[in-house]
Amino acid sequence: MYYTMYFLYKYCYSTVEHKYNSGAEHPMRISVIIPTLNEEGAIGRVLDDMPENPIDELVVVDSSTDNTPRIADKRGAQVIFESKRGYGRALQTGIENTAGDILVYIDGDNTYDPREIPKIVQPILNGEYDVVLGSRLRGRMFPGAMSPLIKLGNLLLSLFFDVLLLKRITDSQSGFRAMRRHFLEGLTYSEYGMPFVTEQLIKLIKRGARVGEVPICYRPRIGETKLCKWTDGFKIFKVILKGRFLGGY
């Protein structure tokens, strides 16, 4: 009796699994992760613009001392408090506390437009790519969204990334990206600050993930930046060098 029930369960389960992976209407579950550090002026707008479809789960990983978590909570987001600092730390906490097959990262500062999430995840749902970066440089840059120095820094880091890792990516530093969770399994990082996503991207490439880009718009930030442009730029540069030459990854 027990074995009959077990095999019946296995049969039903594998049928469901097959349906979910066969390109049906909603083949993979999607989790959105928003890291926030004092974004009370922006988070409400970001959440108001969040499309219901195709998102299954939304978490705000917050380390703020302002009203950000209360605003996010009122808008119905799941808020996770993270006591340790670091952009990467917040993302990793988001990864560990979500269940989606596809993860989307987006800032809580209103620079990226959440209404473009369907565009970011579509190439993964189509099976074309495993990681999709939103490219600000191929898309529409609003006046004042990126200072000339940051733009130059992003260009140089992306160029450096492409030459050393033999890729054609225009915006390796984009904070708006989607990826299949499957490729992240078991990864650990040396850096849980701003360079986290660069180290992660290098590791995903080394695992054979197919990386694509879609053009996105980029708007001026609401609130104070958390990026230390020189220190973080230099750390990201080191992470790319390490990824290419030191075999550390």
Ligand X SMILES: Nc1nc2c(ncn2[C@@H]2O[C@H](COP(=O)(O)OP(=O)(O)OP(=O)(O)O)[C@@H](O)[C@H]2O)c(=O)[nH]1
Structure tokens at 197: 């996503």
Q: Which does 139 bind (CB under 5 to 8 A by kind): Mg ion, ligand X, none?
A: none
Among 71, 176, 226, 239, binds ligand X (CB under 6 A): 226
> According to the binding rule CB under 5 A, does residue 113 interact with Mg ion?
no
63 binds, among ligand X, Mg ion, none (CB under 5 to 8 A by kind): ligand X
Nearer to ligand X, 37 or 125 (CB): 37
Size of the site for Mg ion (CB under 5 A): 3
Q: Give the 3-state secondary structure of residue 49.
A: coil
Q: For the chain, state the CA radius of gyration.
A: 19
Specify burial of residue 127 (Cβ count, 10 A radius: 0-12, 13-18, 19+): exposed
Report if residue 107 touches Mg ion, rule: CB under 5 A.
yes
Q: Which of ligand X, Mg ion, none is residue 108 near (CB under 5 to 8 Å by kind)?
A: ligand X
Evaluated on CA atoms 79, 83, 87, 91, the torsion sign reads: negative
Per CB under 5 A, 171 contacts Mg ion = no
Q: How far is the CB of 107 from ligand X (least distance, A)?
A: 4
Q: What angle do CA 73, 131, 201 make, to 5 degrees?
A: 90
- Binder of ligand X out of 32, 33, 58, 90 (CB under 6 A): 90
Asked whether the beta carbons of 79 and 72 are under 8 A apart, the reply is yes
- 94 touches ligand X (CB under 6 A): no
How would you label 213-248 residue by residue, b for 16+ Cβ within 10 Å and e otherwise?
Answer: bbebbbbebbbeebbeeeebbebbbebbebbbeeee
3-class DSSP assignment, residue 87 = helix
Stretch that binds ligand X, among 14-22, 56-64, 203-211, 233-241 (CB under 6 A): 56-64
Rounded CA-CA distance 41/109 in Å is 8
Counting contacts by CB under 5 A, is residue 109 touching Mg ion? yes
Using omega within 30 degrees of 0 as the cis cutoff, is the peptide bond preceding 27 cis? no
Give the interface size with ligand X as a residue count (CB under 6 A).
21
| 3-state SS assignment for residue 35 | strand
CB of residue 3 vs ligand X: minimum separation in angstroms? 49
Q: Is 158 in the site for ligand X (CB under 6 A)?
A: no
Interface mask toward ligand X for 108-127; x: CB under 6 A: xx-x----------------
| Interface with ligand X, residue 37, by CB under 6 A | yes
Vertex 107: Cα angle to 106 and 112 (nearest 5): 75
Q: Which is closer to Mg ion, CB of 50 or CB of 125? A: 50
Interface ranges with ligand X (CB under 6 A): 35-37, 39, 61-63, 82, 85-87, 90, 107-109, 111, 175, 221, 225-227
Residues in contact with Mg ion by CB under 5 A are 107, 109, 111
